[in-house]
Structure 1
């Protein structure tokens, strides 16, 4: 049974996949209170300590003492433990966030690796976070939805500008994400469900962030990279197998021969049948 002195909790319904608030709440904890539920979250939960103090730790990090004015986050997929002090138990409010852009925006701040920040109460980041928390209490309306959306982006803007991540870490993360993206496309190009959208969902990053990685490192877009994999495989099969054009189109991730043939001609300048004939003649 969960015990607390006083607080609130509310879950929201929102269809925005880019960034959204899932829930928010506020709690004044009892001495030594700790959350006993699942501390490996499927979302991101930012906590701001209003008063009191406690301890916090996340996987592969040492225990740290936090107090009023500090922030800590429960990152997606990372085990965490936090406990109220025995003499001055903390009170905090929290906001649970999800969406493709949350991970990307968070990666620009030291909060993504350290998982806590000290004494943010005088920052623009906190002022924006507080406005977001207040806006979540307003009655549902289109204008308030727009306000909440804008405050999410403003909050992360100030988080990334006032508490930026080290540049080297961002480069390392983008390099790893690029390798994962390339592997995913090579492993799944033969599935017609493989798309840039499915790749973004797999890596939990936004389409624009993925595009920037590919453009910077490979000077191409993710979509063009996927098409290249499919077309090069198709060229190989047209030259070296007797499979029909319909069979080859299915083997490289296309549902129908017509769509494949149009894409192949755009890529090579020739229809699949003419390309096969040309390569047979060159071998004779």
Structure 2
């Protein structure tokens, strides 16, 4: 797991600002011809960013506020809801004051981002709540929206989940295609150990108990149980008996996650956290 990538590291301001500028550049391109034709630089206003459904707040101060500030540092904010807080429909997430031109230019980019991030945080919290009381972590995958990985993985943490690998360079995960191309689990593990630093753990994806046994024979540190039914997973957990960290993956949804957690696995990875979260309904109202 990519535990060294703490929340603050993922949201590095230097990297974030560069990304947000690109999003603004995509939308503004050569300017906002509608807003510029109607309003002057001197006109100001205050707007309310409001939740239109229950959600977990994510990115008000760190993302939405930053979008407006990159357009104009004079913009001010109030009532910014802290990340991770439950919010009811109708509640104000943040108040923004500044130039009318700035507010209109930044509105769509800011809303697009927080609608997405709140959705991921909200869905993640549902999974975390579903396994409450069990010693298991809910983690994401690399099934993220291209260009939004840093932000989406941040939202998973806000929702109470943890992050798996941030990128392919974060850890060794030997999957079915690696095994098929190499010939065996032990051969693939041996080659990986000869190359990667001793500080990097090796994880192997398995889909049979025979493969689990092979992992144990070659001392794999993390064993992924991929698309196994709960009965098979329980057998695997008994076989492993604390010799490796156990991750369950595949076929995970809100109806199945509790049963998977009860098999005794340590980690459950859920691609749906980022690839299937429905954007939250958040609006911007003018005072």
If the TM-score is normalised by the length of the shorter chain, which range does it land in? under 0.3
TM-score, with structure 1 as normaliser = 0.28
Larger Rg: 1
Task: Considering Cα pairs closer than 8 Å and 6+ residues apart, tell me whether 1 or 2 has the greater RCO.
Answer: 2
More helix by share: 1
